Chains A and B, each alone.
Chain A
Amino acid sequence: MSEQPKFKVTVDNIQIEVPAGTTILNAARMIGGDVTPPAMCYYTNLKESGGKCRTCLVEVSKGSDKDPRPMPKLVASCRTTVMDGMEVKNITSDKVIDARKGVVEFLLLNHPLDCPVCDQAGECDLQDLSYQHGSEKTRYEFDRRTFEKEDIGPFIQLHMTRCILCYRCVFTADEVTGCRQHGVLDRGDHSAISTYLGKSLDNEFIGNVIDVCPVGALTDKTFRFKNRVWFTKPVDAHRDCPTCTSKVRLWMRGDEVFRVTARKNKFGEVEEWICNECRFHKKEVKDWVIEGPSKISRMSVISQGHYVNTHKAPVLIDKVIGKQPKLLMNIHTVSDVNRREVDLSKIEGPAHSEDFKTTDLNN
């Protein structure tokens, strides 16, 4: 086997060596933590994906050792491959932070803020993205866009108003099922995912579009409104399936299987595609061989209350800023809040700051 050349690339002051042909996004993912740009449309397993949502924009401050000129515009890190000696700024670039805030605002502009009734809530990439990169207010004063409801069959619910047009479901149908029955109709801000004739999607692998959809535009009709995802517990399981590898994740409450999905890695991407039979029709514990609790992101609300076996992101802030962050204030040294001798139950009414001695920082 021939050695693949390795390229050195620096993302936010952290250097890493990656094989030639790696994208900036994947190099950043190898480093991990906060220097990884968010990605709403790119999907490792879908080769046509990426480049569309623009959340992963980064600044290339040095093109390569050979040609050190910076790139004139921000680039989509998911579709730009690294060069030897490239230097990339993600969270260290004001331009990137500003542009990303803009992109988040654009994505939310027409998105219905009905998370309380959306089945995706709790595992929605757009929720996470807005929480991490958005602002709490909207500057949009107009009616949000709505679409006619379209029925695309008994198993998959399409909610076009929530779609962010990442095209992942389109590429899934192209690349996984090999026979696409749906696509994007119309253009601009009225583009819509549709089958055009109101046909149902029936390929035996089409259920995977539910897993790739970053938002609640495509959800599982067999799970709809049955439970909130954070009340269910993810468990890895498999069975003897003639169609797929059946490496699935069961979402259980007690002994009840509420939902079956593919397993996702720490970037929220499906590891192995599963078939519709496994996904929609095997909802009994006895159908499955249970492997054990799934590993999920430490950040996810699904991990609330169970902190074992989670993916933890590395903390890299010292490397990004080139020094240990200076602790401006240690709350425990300046306030009595955590002191046992102050008995909260003895204070009448709610506790206020005056109830605790503070040390004046300035002297």
Chain B
Amino acid sequence: MLGALLYLRLTSARNWAKSRLRRLRQPKYLVGAIVGCAYFYFFFFRHLGRQPTRRLPDGAVLDATHAALPTEWLPVTTALGAVGFLILLALIWLVPSQRAALGFTEAEIAFLFPAPITRRALIHFRLLSSQLRSLVGAAVMMLFSNRWAVLGGNAVTHAIGWWFIFSSLNLHFSGASFTLTRLADLGWSVWRRRLLVFAAFATVVAVSIHRLPPEAAASESHAPGDLRAITAWVVTLAETAPLAWLLVPVHAVLGPFLAIDTRHFLLALGPALGVVILHYLWVVRSAVAFEDSAIAQAQQRSARLAAWREGRSRRTATTRSRRDPFALAATGRPELAFLWKNLLSTWPYFRLRVFLVAAAILTAGCVWLHRQPTAAPFLAGVGVLAVSLGAYLLILGPQFARQDIRSDLGHADVLRVYPLRGWQIILGELLTPVCILTAVVWLTLLVGALCFWPSTTSAPWLSLPVRVTASLGLALITPALVALQLLVPNAAALLFPAWFQATRSRGGGPEVVGQRMIFVFAQIVAMALALLPAAALAAVIIAVGQWLWGTAVAVGFASVGTLVLLVGEVGGGVWFLGTRFERLDLSAEPPPSA
């Protein structure tokens, strides 16, 4: 029976690879693949054969400050790695609120669950799938960690080390979810379990802190912000019982990865293997027990399976119906319907009411800060921070706010039936991320404007009227800037739909990496090209205007001029994408689910 499951796994993987390769026949995918492979080569593989610089024969770079040997780093890497690992484990026990999710796809459920396969074989099938993921994860992580100078060992020990880490995490996750399901069946509520798990972890940490030797506590009194003090404290803490006991299996798992040379690596293999095997036994055993406990609930489970088969998958548990973001009248511009619809697809916090409340709170906060004599030196800092956050959001926001054609590509066939021009659909789809990002950037601008009051001596030209018009002008062009930013990833989605879908799913080959790099590069180039004329126009208006009308008025005119130019550019972009959408041949691209 496991043979059939293995066959399913392997053929799926092979067909996946085949369809990927077939796609390379289209030039746009081939170019991406070449760029991606070049990227991988230059950033990772080139270094594979070589040792990191610290092993230079003359030892010239062995500077005492920044090139310590892996042996010296070992306590720190071990302690930090172990603590990080332990936090992950704690989350595995704390977070889940659902019953053991077996992680099967709908097709696998449809084919495998009604088939005469034991639960144990299904578990093995699942472990096999996660092994595949662990192997890929280990290979990828090896490429990264191979360049970390604080590590000893070589590519092979890193890869195997990562495999131990991923496998034991995967196994632990499965085991924990089975155990949690059993606890739930015993009548434990989610919050009771969370409270107890948290209390247990907190107790261990608290007792360990309490038992710390006094010197360790004293070393806390280093200069504030000195990271070495904190790491030293963490290292000592990790070596103090009872936390140290809890970390013993974690150390065993991390051993092969952190081993500084082959001898240590071989020595570390035994304990690591032991932990993985114990985990495996735990998972298989608890899975069988899970089946036992499930027999009593056979009816419940079959109802759940039926729900699964009917497509009422787990997702419905997380998507809730939401109230209308605003009242949508039956007539009016159809583009607004997309704003209404896409606002429903995202968090319910993106509403006008929330925005107004946030603005009021931020204003009150800034006014309060102004009243504090001690806060004065920080004010400008807060302002600069807020404005840089706004700039950051402007550039990276489009990657997060994707309630536009990118998330509706799967519904393209529905959209195509609507009696709308392509540009109307693109415009409508853009509205939601534009509104969300504009609102957030406006908030940062508000804080910036309220806090950034440089003294009149250091920047006399930055008078109050100039500041006010500059803030208002920036606020005015923000929506156009955001829309311009959003056009680039949307263009990518429309020009390379299949590829675009691929980058959204987990994992990706070199052509996906290459494609992402091309997109980032294209975004930068496109933005530079689009902003250049606007910036030039603004500069000219301000330069000339400040003699004619004064700086404040000139800044105002410059904003309006920039706005007109940017709106023109956005309009052109929307129109172009509209024609692309109208011509998009959905049947020429693989279906979005593939």
Query: Do A and B originate from a single complex?
Result: no
